[in-house]
Structure 1
Amino acid sequence: MTEAMPPEDNKGLSIRNLTHLLYGLFAIGLLSAGFFGIATIAAVVLAYIKRGDTAGTVYAAHFDWIIRTFWWGLLWLVLSGLAIFIFIGWLTGLIALVWIVYRLIKGWLALASGQPPVAEY
């Protein structure tokens, strides 16, 4: 029977750098207008995979923020795509994109200041 070795400190990306990477991948996918959309999907998959490692830290809120931004943004973009047939989809799609960019910037700025992103209602 082999013993499990405890993880070594400073091996691989820190959670802070990983969170910056997630925001960066999300931004690349968004700014490339879907050409590198796989980057956004990679950011969300990575956020789901590493989410457990962030429990109890300020970074947990960032991972949840990225995941929620993706799913809500996808929902609104799909609904906007369907609404194109009644000519309001262009407007709702633009609003959805502005909302996604806003949340991406707000979350990334909160990360830079060491704070969790806070949704304003």
Structure 2
Amino acid sequence: MSQQLVLDDVSDAKNLARILYVAHGITFFFSLGMLSILPVIVNHVKRPDTVGSMVHSHHTWMIRTFWYYIAWMALGWVLFATLIGLPLALVVWGCAWVWHAYRLIRGFVDLNNNRAEYL
């Protein structure tokens, strides 16, 4: 009975991580990731519950992906504010977008294949 309970907890945590990947993806598609603050809050709240499981690495992966993406987008806005940095801002935004999409897709695939994310 105890073994089944542990497996159910891991399964529930894994399903929540899947839902959070989808939520990050939807907000990324519709708001370029700015509304991902909602799923990232859930990541921060639920991450301590998954310590010791591979799902913990996925919560950390999503959290870091969000905050690094925000930092790169902010750098793009700083560059955008200057006429000289305008072309560079477009490059930074494009690279940040591709990187964010890659991390969401890779994380979702690795979660479904029961692989932890190595940060």
- TM class by shorter-chain length? 0.7 to 0.9
| Bigger RCO (CA 8 Å, 6+ sep) | 2
Aligned to 1:4: none
**Correspondent of 1:83 among 65, 76, 79:** 79
- Once residues 109 and 117 of structure 1 are traced to their aligned partners in structure 2, the CA distance between those partners, rounded to angstroms, is 10
Question: 1:89-104 counterparts in 2 under 5 A?
Answer: 89-104=89-104
Residues 42-61 of structure 1: CA distance to partner in whole angstroms, max 9, x if unpaired?
11000001111100000000
- Structure 2 residue ranges without an equivalent (≥5): none
Residues 29-85 of structure 1: CA distance to partner in whole angstroms, max 9, x if unpaired?
101134x843x1111000001111100000000000000000001000100111112
Offset, 1:118: 3.1
Aligned to 2:22: 24
Aligned to 2:49: 53
Is the Cα–Cα contact under 8 Å of residues 106 and 117 in structure 1 kept in the other structure? no
Is the Cα–Cα contact under 8 Å of residues 15 and 59 in structure 1 kept in the other structure? yes
CA RMSD of aligned residues (A): 1.9
- Once residues 73 and 91 of structure 1 are traced to their aligned partners in structure 2, the CA distance between those partners, rounded to angstroms, is 14
- Structure 1 residue ranges without an equivalent (≥5): 1-8
Q: Classify the secondary structure of the residue corresponding to 2:116.
A: coil
Q: TM-score, normalised by structure 2?
A: 0.83
Q: Which is helix-richer, 1 or 2?
A: 2
- Once residues 58 and 42 of structure 2 are traced to their aligned partners in structure 1, the CA distance between those partners, rounded to angstroms, is 13
